[in-house]
Amino acid sequence: MLGETARTWLKRWDEQQERYSPDREERFQVILDVTRWSLERASPERPRIVDLGCGTGSLTVRLARALPDAEVVGVDADPMMLGLGEENVAGTGARLLLDDLNSPDWPDRVAPGEPWDAAVSSTALHWLEAEDLAALYGMLAARIRPGGVFVDANNRMPEGSPESRALARRVRDARAERAGKADREDWDSWWKAFLAAPELAELAREREQRAIAERAFAPPLDLTLDEQADLLKSAGFRTVTTVWQCGDDSVLVALR
Ligand SMILES: C[S@@+](CC[C@H](N)C(=O)[O-])C[C@H]1O[C@@H](n2cnc3c(N)ncnc32)[C@H](O)[C@@H]1O
């Protein structure tokens, strides 16, 4: 049990993430709005929702609190992030799996042979290589029931030209400035402090033994929104639409 330590790190994580997604709370609410809308159309008794790359459980915990009748499962390959996540979701009924999204086995650990009502993700899937992402989308299209939904919030460029990239980035940076979040701790300094924290040394040792330790700082995949939408349609999603956007920050919805 990390107790107060976990709470401090969880807060520091959320604050750091808001530097890159200044409207992150609103973005979480949009994911919830879309999930609710999808669930209302089918009214499953105990909806099953999976959070891909859940990290410290920021989205998982918000889903679990907002939808207390749902089975909410978070998946992440990083034992340090998940260590904080366990404390974050404690008491909500949400369940976390320490698994690599690239492995073929983990979906069966959610609920063997049972369909999912929704999959969601926040700032995570850009870490996957293109072919792993395509395989993940194929798995999602097979697991999510018809009428179910995949909601992906991430920083992705609307289209690929250098000008549109610069513009989208400028709009997001200006928004961060106005929201008073532009000078928040950055990604590199957060990770430096997190990995060196004496109170987290045991989790850090566990992390060192896993592939994610080498991947965390690798250059992420740089798909545009259109390219991501094409991949989702090829995987079997019938409609793909962007429902929220500010600069390069957006929420993409794929319907089964
Ligand atoms: C920027 S964090 C976002 C965490 C959380 N979704 C949030 O919004 O705060 C990205 C997360 O994706 C996870 N991740 C990256 N590649 C992964 C993979 N192949 N399998 C599982 N998790 C992965 C990382 O461990 C990390 O926790």
pLDDT 10s digits, 25-80: 999 999 999 999 999 999 889 999 999 999 999 999 999 999 999 999 999 999 99
Determine the pLDDT at residue 151: 98
Ligand 1 test: best mutation among 15, 25, 78, most atoms within 8 Å of CB? 78
Task: Answer whether 81 contacts ligand 1 (Cβ < 6 A).
Answer: yes
Residue found by looking up tokens 């009214």 in the block: 43
Joined tokens for residue 62: 């918000």
Determine the pLDDT at residue 167: 92
Task: Answer whether 53 contacts ligand 1 (Cβ < 6 A).
Answer: yes
Determine the pLDDT at residue 192: 94
Task: Answer whether 123 contacts ligand 1 (Cβ < 6 A).
Answer: yes
Determine the pLDDT at residue 216: 63
Q: How far apart are CA 256 and CA 253, in angstroms?
A: 10
> Which residues of the chain are modeled with pLDDT < 70?
1, 216-220
Q: How far apart are CA 137 and CA 150, in angstroms?
A: 9
By three-state DSSP, how is residue 163 classified? Answer: helix
Determine the pLDDT at residue 116: 98
User: Which is the closest atom of ligand 1 to the Cα of 55?
Assistant: 27
DSSP 200: G
Determine the pLDDT at residue 172: 94
CA angle 151, 52, 223 (to 5 degrees): 65
Determine the pLDDT at residue 210: 87
User: Which is the closest atom of ligand 1 to the Cα of 17?
Assistant: 9
Task: Answer whether 59 contacts ligand 1 (Cβ < 6 A).
Answer: yes
What are the backbone angles phi and psi of residue 230, rounded to the nearest 5°?
Answer: -60, -40
Phi-psi sector, 196: left (phi>0), alpha (psi -120 to 50), beta: alpha
Say which CATH class 4-255 falls into.
Answer: alpha beta
What are the backbone angles phi and psi of residue 17, rounded to the nearest 5°?
Answer: -65, -30
Is-above-0.85 flag for pTM? yes
